[in-house]
């Protein structure tokens, strides 16, 4: 059990977030995506988990266009300090982030991730299936936070994800 709290990321956190991400993913790709999402104004929410010693977790949520409209959100990348994984940081960041998006008025959040992990938060592949995206299948899931918003459509991801 470790003592951590969450807060909105600030611009001066970006280097620490990228370093955390590089360590968790074992390479620079996700850190580059995070930097580009911020630079392009495509980030919707960026949260860090912090302890007395600094940033130990991070989660990013970004804008997804549905049929060209700013009606969807995406989850990722996310990371936890490799030395502190499996102590609840990741799950707490997902739940806190979804609450934040709900408060911001977002109605649907998409994720491409572990099919054994995300259903525990309410993500379902069935909810994502009516949407056309660069990916499909059991790892492509969505959670509806509130009624309203499109039930189908074509998703456009931020250019940070096009490599």
Ligand X SMILES: CC(C)(COP(=O)(O)OP(=O)(O)OC[C@H]1O[C@@H](n2cnc3c(N)ncnc32)[C@H](O)[C@@H]1OP(=O)(O)O)[C@@H](O)C(=O)NCCC(=O)NCCS
Contacts with ligand X, residue ranges (CB under 6 A): 24-25, 76-80, 85-91, 113-114, 117
CB of 44 to ligand X, least distance (A): 16
Please identify, using beta-carbon distances, which residue of 67 and 96 lies nearer to ligand X.
96
Instruction: Select 72 or 76, whichever has its Cβ closest to ligand X.
Output: 76
Helix (H) or strand (E) holding 2: none
Give least dist CB 111 to ligand X, A.
Answer: 8
Calculate the CA 133 to chain-centre distance.
17
Closest approach, Cβ 68 to ligand X, in A, equals 26
Q: How far is the CB of 163 from ligand X (least distance, A)?
A: 16
What's the token pair of residue 2?
Answer: 């470790």
Report which residue's Cβ sits closest to ligand X: 90
Residue carrying structure tokens 């959100």: 73
Q: Which is nearer to ligand X, 111 or 153 (CB)?
A: 111
Cα–Cα dist 49/108, whole Å: 23
Given a contact cutoff of 8 angstroms between Cβ atoms, the answer to whether 161 and 30 are in contact is: no
Cβ closest to ligand X, residue 91 vs residue 129: 91
């Amino acid at each position: 059990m470790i003592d951590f709290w969450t807060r909105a990321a600030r611009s001066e956190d970006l280097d620490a977030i990228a370093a955390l991400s590089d360590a968790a993913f074992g390479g620079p790709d996700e850190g580059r995506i995070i930097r580009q999402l911020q630079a392009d104004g495509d980030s919707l929410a960026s949260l860090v988990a912090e302890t007395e010693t600094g940033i130990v977790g991070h989660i990013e949520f970004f804008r997804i266009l549905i049929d060209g409209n700013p009606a969807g959100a995406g989850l990722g990348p996310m990371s936890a300090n490799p030395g502190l994984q499996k102590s609840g940081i990741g799950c707490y960041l997902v739940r806190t982030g979804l609450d934040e998006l709900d408060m911001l008025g977002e109605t649907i959040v998409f994720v491409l991730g572990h099919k054994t992990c995300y259903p525990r938060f309410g993500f379902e592949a069935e909810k994502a299936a009516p949407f056309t995206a660069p990916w499909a299948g059991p790892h492509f899931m969505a959670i509806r936070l509130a009624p309203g918003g499109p039930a189908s459509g074509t998703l456009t991801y931020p250019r940070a994800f096009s490599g």
